[in-house]
Amino acid sequence: MTETAEFPTGPLPRHVVRPSAAAGFLLVHVAAVLGLLLVGFSWTGVALCVASYYLRMFAITAGFHRYFSHRAYRLSRVPQFLLAFLGQTSAQKGVLWWASNHRHHHKYSDRPEDIHSPVQNGFWWSHIGWILSGLYDETDYSRIPDLAKFPELRWLNRNQYAPTLVYALAVYFAFGWTGLVYGYFLSTVLLWHGTFTINSVMHLFGRRVFPTADQSRNSMIFALVTMGEGWHNNHHYYPSSAAQGFTWWQVDMSFSLLWLGEKIGLVTGLRRAPSPAVREALALARSKLDVSVVTSAQAMDGDPLDQLAARWEGIRDAARVTANYLRSPEALADLETARLRAVQRLDVLQADYAAARTRAEAAASSRLAELGAEIERTRRELHETLLRLVAAAESLGLSAAVSA
Ligand SMILES: [Zn+2]
Ligand SMILES: [Zn+2]
């Protein structure tokens, strides 16, 4: 099975939405609005909504995203199951489905293969269309062998709505109708859109700090709404880090809680943001790659052999710097992509270089042959002229002895 076997390739159909999925999605919105009208305003309700939102947002960002999709820290098996269960109370399908699609997103970010890129297919497709389309309902297990080996996670993934039903019943029995409306329906709707903005808004609006190959961006507002996920440009730059805020002021509540988890011994192997030295090495490797691109563009004019040789050397150096960096313990998945690109470009250029060299040598050797023939012809002419001169001189009675 190839990695993208079940996924349509090329431009995605934008308007395909499965009516049953869209109806279910809309019904939960309607239930939230009607429920609010029926139970009326309540501060207890607001508190329940906020608490339920952030509890489950933590399970999505620290759990589905940083733990299951990126393995940015380690947990033992029971907390792992509980985090997956809590994440699925947010009704965002199965934990394995979520992680598998998210790994695909990082592999193809904002390229035509990306299943939820606003750059490729527009805002609404990236926000909700791809989920309601039914095109990606299956879980591609080939991308998540490390997770699929746990039978309890496969069970959760198959019974994707069991946790959310249990959760809805629990808040109803604990807090009555106010609990169900505010703590379940309203908070679930907000949680959906809060999560989906990372796929839609955070690839369109905000600041780009790092020159990633995609359009990911940073935003303080969305970082507060999503417990740190708003530092999405940081995250695409360094996806293996459990921290998405890289500086003290980049608030990242999920990471702060994970840090606490590490202090009490629940979380191990918590991966930090890249140090300034690592960021510098990354910037160097990337600038080398960019220089080689500029050099290739310039090489279109001028002496093809020299320019091609320079182009080749630029690319080879870039590949070497990147490869060296990848040997360091903080090796990055996205740099690996850059390295592969450089290696591929290197192969193409080497072939170009060899072809140009052969052409140049063939041209040079045919020119040499022409020059040789011309020299030979001139020598013959000179020889004949000399012969005629000698004959003429002899006919005039001059001899070598006389002229000497
Ligand atoms: Zn992204
Ligand atoms: Zn990610």
84-98, 119-133, 193-207, 274-288: the lowest-pLDDT one: 274-288
* Ligand minimally distant from the alpha carbon of residue 109: 1
8 pLDDT higher than 70: no
Confidence at 338, pLDDT banded by 50, 70, 90 = low
Residue 96 CA to ligand 1 center (angstroms) comes to 18
- Domain-wise residue ranges, the chain: 19-263, 276-381
Residue 104 CA to ligand 2 center (angstroms) comes to 10
**What is the mean pLDDT of the segment spanning 256-272?**
96
Is pTM beyond 0.75? Reply is no
374 pLDDT higher than 90: no
* Ligand minimally distant from the alpha carbon of residue 216: 1
Q: How many angstroms separate the CA atoms of 90 and 190, rounded? A: 10
**pLDDT value for 340:** 73
Residue 326 CA to ligand 1 center (angstroms) comes to 23
Residue 263 CA to ligand 1 center (angstroms) comes to 29
Between helix 19-39 and helix 187-199 the angle, nearest 10°, is 130
C-alpha 404: how far from chain center = 90
Residue 295 CA to ligand 2 center (angstroms) comes to 33
> How buried is 311 (Cβ within 10 angstroms: 0-12 exposed, 13-18 middle, 19+ buried)?
buried
* Token reading at 121: 């297919």
DSSP labels for 246-308?
A: -STTS--HHHHHHHHHHHTTS-BSPPPPPPHHHHHHHHHHHHHHHHHHHHHHHTTSS-HHHHH
Residue 395 CA to ligand 2 center (angstroms) comes to 101
Instruction: Assess contact for 317 and 288: CB atoms under 8 A.
Output: yes
**What is the mean pLDDT of the segment spanning 186-193?**
98
**pLDDT value for 331:** 55
For 272-294, b where at least 16 C-beta lie within 10 A, e where not — what string?
ebbeeebeebbeebbebbeebee
Helix (H) / strand (E) element for 218: namely none
Residue 258 CA to ligand 1 center (angstroms) comes to 21
pLDDT in tens, 109-124: 998 889 999 999 999 9
**pLDDT value for 371:** 84
pLDDT in tens, 285-324: 666 655 554 444 444 444 555 555 666 666 666 666 666 6
Instruction: Assess contact for 223 and 231: CB atoms under 8 A.
Output: yes
Residue 239 CA to ligand 2 center (angstroms) comes to 6
Query: Which residues, including other chains, have CB under 8 Å from residue 195's CB and lie 6 or more apart?
Result: 57, 60, 90, 92, 226
Percent of the chain with pLDDT over 90: 56
Residue 340 CA to ligand 2 center (angstroms) comes to 20
